[in-house]
Amino acid sequence: MMARRSLMVGFGGYLPDRIVTNDELAARLDTSDEWIRARTGIGQRHIAGPEDNAVSMATAAAAQALDYAGMPAADVGAIVVATSTPDQAFPATAVRVQAALGMRGGFGFDIAAACSGFVYALTVADSLIRTGQADSALVIGSEVYSRILDWSDRGTCVLFGDGAGAVLLKAGDAAQPAGVLSTHLHSDGTMGDLLYVDGAVGLREQSGFLRMQGRDVFRHAVAKLSSSVDEVLAANGMTHADVSWLVPHQANLRIIEAVARKLELPPERVVMTVDRHANTSAASIPLAMNEAVRDGRIRKGDLVLMEALGGGLTWGSALARL
């Protein structure tokens, strides 16, 4: 078998219809549009309606990615869904999506790595393709954070939004320049209490709300994402100048700008959606990719660097050529 590489051949996204502005939040919280924008860069976010859930949003994003690639769902070999907000403890969101798409073959499973989830899922799907376990894979991030937020806590509830994004990978020849070049994952469980959800299926007495020590998360994010960026470039013998686009996890404008400065990338080469989407966790990178590919910014041959940090703490980077 030829040496294989994962080609990114399809892109899709889904955002709920309801948009909540900063002014709407300010009407019921001790905050303001100016306060939120100055600290985060966020102006609005999409919030799931009664008909939206992790499965429905993931399915919609996946269908778009398949349509973009012109591939029928029946031909997909694997589905890897990154989510911290599944509709059920089990079965996995991925197998629900498999059923919704009408797939009768292949396999699917979920990954929980918080905001780093898409980079983790991309790494796993890429490994499945490289080793021949699958010839194609849908990599999906789908999050409904609005349902785990304490809406009285202005330090967290203003930061997040809901949505789903998907990328379709297909096996290609590693001798060609396009495809996922490398991915790099890290975690440090000693910092798990900096960003976490207070409760789960096994801890019903807890609140089930997201909790965060924002300043500490910010400090670690800039340092760890910068080192992760250097790591993925060094692994591929490339420099900052080779990067066409930075597609970062959309958590905070100041974090994104700090990493872009590290890369010496001007703002016009950074895909930014945080102002309109807020932090959609594992969905943020594929949502941003979908937007930038479809509006023509990211083109065939471009070198794209993706990076994210999330609760765990988990972080990682990926480098791909379209």
Q: Which amino acid, residue 196?
A: Y
Q: How far apart are CA 224 and CA 262, in angstroms?
A: 12
Whole-angstrom Cα distance, residue 258 to residue 63? 34
For the annotated catalytic residues, the residue numbers are 115, 249, 279
Length of the chain as a residue count? 322
